[in-house]
């Protein structure tokens, strides 16, 4: 695991590289990671003072809890610093022009809303299975847009081996085609049954008008990944999707792992406009009720929920009548994600009363409360990436499940990127699978080649400058010699 920079023997302490953890989740374990996620520069210094923050954001009860957590994190951070002496706290990052997420968000929202006006689906059979070019034309009643979806099994360009699956196109055709009006479950549910990534191209064209110059978004869908592009308030659509995947592909209807990063009320996220959040915790309860997740968690299944540092949010999950109680889940572990600078320093003091440099992942298990032992804590550190991008802790959660990749059923809710082998659900579920978020990974061999090329160019440039200097000297000598001849002639 290249994205794990250090860990102790029992994995209760580790340092993780966030962009690389997301990249690793795009392939099946053992496959090469051919592409790298574009990121932002690593944080060099601590956060400045947040003068706008209010001390009333944290209650006395919450502050007492934070003080206890700070002691645990401080001890773990000291252990990490000792182990990481002389080592980098994040891998090299790939920086590029900022992707136009606003345009992408508009596209995804149009597709999420598509079920309201989609009328027909026409499918063009592919000619060759190796190119697997399946076109799905959706003609909406709404006249402004006509979405076209194209799926391309192009794994050579991803640096992976080509594995032909003659059943892929037939499966996809059966999934999307119907003799009657298509059901909602078919419209935004996609499954890649291949052991390699597929390229999904979505084109938007105006209906019966001239083409509008909008870049065609291409999305790389990981191997054996399923996604449902819909608002998470649409519980019925999720229920239908699980049934369809079970009926058509034999997928489990109960999940061994459920991971979620809910859009909790958050002023900084709301002000940044990076993603939508609920205004109040109470507003989310209807959504939880519609999900009926208690029906889909396997006995002994693991549920992991990211929370903010507000006591109200914590109570919504762990309090009486909270999510864990409704789902029959008991808290077994508490993970703390410490945000650091590129040199491993905390982004702010752990005891800062205005803001906290860590986030919490609550890990529960569907089991009898009497069988639950003391709560285990884990602390891991990482240099933050783009706003709200969480590290992918897939392989660490597998340690708790006790099963390897491909041996369990997993569901991620409120996902912003697909994960290989998992089912992902959300209204931005393929956001970070956008092709413009990725660049081809530079291997060590390529790095050496680039360094050698750079050295060669520098030497060539130096030789050229020396040659030019010598040429100027010869010219000067020639002029001086000519002047001497003229002088002798005059004499």
pLDDT, tens digit, 9 for 90 and up, residues 349-398: 888 877 899 999 999 999 887 777 789 999 999 999 987 789 999 999 99
Check whether 491 has a pLDDT greater than 50.
Answer: no
- Distance CA(138)–CA(116), nearest Å, equals 12
Check whether 163 has a pLDDT greater than 50.
Answer: no
Q: What is the largest CA-CA distance in the chain?
A: 119
Check whether 159 has a pLDDT greater than 60.
Answer: no
List all residues 6 or more positions away from 179 whose beta carbon is below 8 Å from its beta carbon.
Answer: none
Exposure class string for 460-472: b at 16+ Cβ within 10 A, else e: eeeeeeeeeeeee
pLDDT at residue 330, rounded to an integer = 96
The residues spanned by each domain of the chain are 94-440, 443-491
Q: Predicted confidence band at 428 (pLDDT cuts at 50, 70, 90)?
A: very high
Tokens describing residue 268: 């900084």
pLDDT at residue 21, rounded to an integer = 97
List all residues 6 or more positions away from 401 whose beta carbon is below 8 Å from its beta carbon.
Answer: 256, 257, 302, 408
pLDDT, tens digit, 9 for 90 and up, residues 52-92: 444 445 667 777 889 999 999 999 999 999 999 989 999 99
Q: Which helix (H) or strand (E) holds 132?
A: none
Average pLDDT over residues 136-159: 36
User: Contact at 8 Å (CB) between 114 and 188?
Assistant: yes
pLDDT at residue 144, rounded to an integer = 30
Check whether 168 has a pLDDT greater than 90.
Answer: no
Q: Compute CA distances 1 → 24, 56, 321, 387, whole Å.
A: 8, 42, 39, 24
Q: Predicted confidence band at 470 (pLDDT cuts at 50, 70, 90)?
A: low
Check whether 172 has a pLDDT greater than 60.
Answer: no
Average pLDDT over residues 474-490: 43
pLDDT at residue 273, rounded to an integer = 54
Check whether 211 has a pLDDT greater than 60.
Answer: no
pLDDT at residue 161, rounded to an integer = 27
pLDDT at residue 58, rounded to an integer = 60
- Distance CA(402)–CA(365), nearest Å, equals 13
Half-sphere CA count of 193, side-chain side, radius 13 A: 15
Instruction: Tell me the average pLDDT of the chain.
Output: 77
Q: Predicted confidence band at 478 (pLDDT cuts at 50, 70, 90)?
A: very low
pLDDT, tens digit, 9 for 90 and up, residues 20-44: 999 999 999 989 998 899 998 998 8
pLDDT at residue 466, rounded to an integer = 67
Tokens describing residue 191: 């499954």
- Distance CA(219)–CA(437), nearest Å, equals 9
Angle at 437 between CA 433 and CA 442, to 5 degrees: 110
pLDDT at residue 60, rounded to an integer = 72
pLDDT at residue 314, rounded to an integer = 95
pLDDT higher at 467 or 156: 467
pLDDT, tens digit, 9 for 90 and up, residues 218-273: 889 999 999 999 999 999 999 999 999 999 999 999 999 999 999 998 766 555 55
DSSP 261: -
Check whether 177 has a pLDDT greater than 70.
Answer: no
pLDDT at residue 64, rounded to an integer = 84
User: Contact at 8 Å (CB) between 233 and 292?
Assistant: no
pLDDT at residue 411, rounded to an integer = 99
- Distance CA(26)–CA(420), nearest Å, equals 5
Q: What's the 3-state SS for 300-367? A: EEEEEEEECCCHHHHHHHHCCCCHHHHHCCEEEEEEEEEEECCCCCECCCCCCCCCCCEEEEEEEECC
- Distance CA(341)–CA(343), nearest Å, equals 5
Q: The CATH number of 94-440 is which of 3.20.20, 3.40.50, 2.40.128, 3.30.70? A: 3.40.50
pLDDT, tens digit, 9 for 90 and up, residues 86-142: 899 999 998 866 667 777 787 788 778 753 322 222 222 322 323 333 333 322 222
- Distance CA(9)–CA(399), nearest Å, equals 13
Q: Is the pTM of this model over 0.85?
A: no
Q: Is 173 exposed, middle or buried (0-12, 13-18, 19+ CB in 10 A)?
A: middle
Q: Predicted confidence band at 203 (pLDDT cuts at 50, 70, 90)?
A: low
Check whether 416 has a pLDDT greater than 50.
Answer: yes
Question: How many other C-beta atoms lie within 10 A of the C-beta of residue 72?
Answer: 15
Q: Is the dihedral of CA 247, 250, 252, 257 positive or negative?
A: negative
pLDDT, tens digit, 9 for 90 and up, residues 274-300: 556 677 788 899 999 999 999 999 999
Check whether 313 has a pLDDT greater than 50.
Answer: yes
Q: What is the distance, to the nearest Å, from the Cα of residue 335 to the centroid of all Cα atoms in its chain? A: 19
Average pLDDT over residues 302-327: 95
Angle at 419 between CA 300 and CA 31, to 5 degrees: 110
């Amino acid at each position: 695991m290249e994205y794990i920079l250090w860990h102790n023997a029992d994995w209760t302490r580790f340092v993780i590289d966030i962009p690389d953890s997301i990249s690793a989740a795009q392939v099946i374990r053992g496959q090469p990671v051919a592409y790298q996620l574009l990121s932002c520069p690593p944080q060099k210094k601590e956060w400045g003072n947040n003068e706008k923050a209010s001390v009333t954001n944290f209650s006395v009860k919450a502050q007492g809890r934070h003080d206890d957590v700070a002691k645990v994190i401080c001890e773990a951070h000291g252990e990490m610093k000792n182990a990481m002496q002389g080592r980098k706290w994040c891998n090299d990052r790939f920086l590029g022009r900022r992707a136009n997420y606003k345009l992408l968000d508009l596209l995804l929202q149009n597709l999420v809303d598509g079920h309201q006006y989609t009328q027909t689906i026409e499918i063009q059979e592919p000619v060759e299975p190796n190119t697997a070019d399946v076109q799905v034309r959706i003609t909406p009643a709404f006249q402004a847009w006509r979405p076209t979806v194209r799926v391309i099994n192009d794994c050579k360009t991803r640096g992976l081996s080509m594995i032909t699956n003659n059943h892929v196109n037939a499966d996809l055709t059966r999934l999307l085609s119907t003799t009657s009006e298509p059901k909602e479950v078919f419209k935004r549910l996609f499954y890649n049954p291949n052991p390699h990534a597929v390229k999904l191209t979505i084109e938007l064209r105006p209906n019966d008008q001239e083409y509008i110059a909008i870049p065609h978004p291409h999305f790389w869908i990981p191997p054996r990944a399923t996604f449902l592009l819909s608002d998470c308030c649409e519980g019925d659509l999720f229920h239908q999707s699980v049934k369809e995947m079970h009926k058509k592909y034999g997928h489990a209807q109960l999940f061994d792992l459920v991971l979620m990063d809910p859009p909790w009320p958050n002023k900084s996220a709301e002000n940044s406009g990076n993603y939508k959040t609920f205004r109040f915790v109470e507003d989310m309860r209807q959504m939880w009720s519609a999900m009926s997740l208690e029906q889909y968690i396997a006995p002994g299944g693991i549920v992991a929920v990211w929370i903010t540092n507000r006591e109200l949010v914590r109570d919504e999950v762990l309090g009486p009548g909270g999510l864990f109680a409704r789902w029959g889940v008991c808290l077994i572990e508490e993970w703390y994600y410490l945000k650091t600078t590129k040199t491993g320093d905390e982004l702010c003091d752990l005891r800062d009363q205005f803001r906290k440099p860590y986030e919490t992942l609550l890990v529960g298990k569907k089991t009898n409360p009497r069988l639950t032992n003391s709560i285990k804590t884990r602390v891991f550190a990482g240099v933050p990436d783009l706003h709200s991008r969480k590290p992918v802790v897939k392989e660490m959660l597998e340690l708790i499940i006790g099963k390897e990749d491909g041996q369990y059923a997993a569901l991620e809710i409120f996902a912003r990127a697909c994960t290989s082998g998992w089912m992902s659900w959300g209204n931005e579920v393929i956001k970070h699978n956008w092709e413009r978020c990725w660049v081809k990974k530079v291997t060590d061999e390529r790095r050496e080649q680039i360094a050698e090329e750079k050295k060669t160019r520098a030497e060539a440039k130096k030789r050229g400058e020396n040659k030019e200097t010598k040429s100027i000297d010869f010219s000067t000598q020639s002029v001086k010699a000519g002047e001497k001849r003229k002088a002798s002639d005059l004499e």
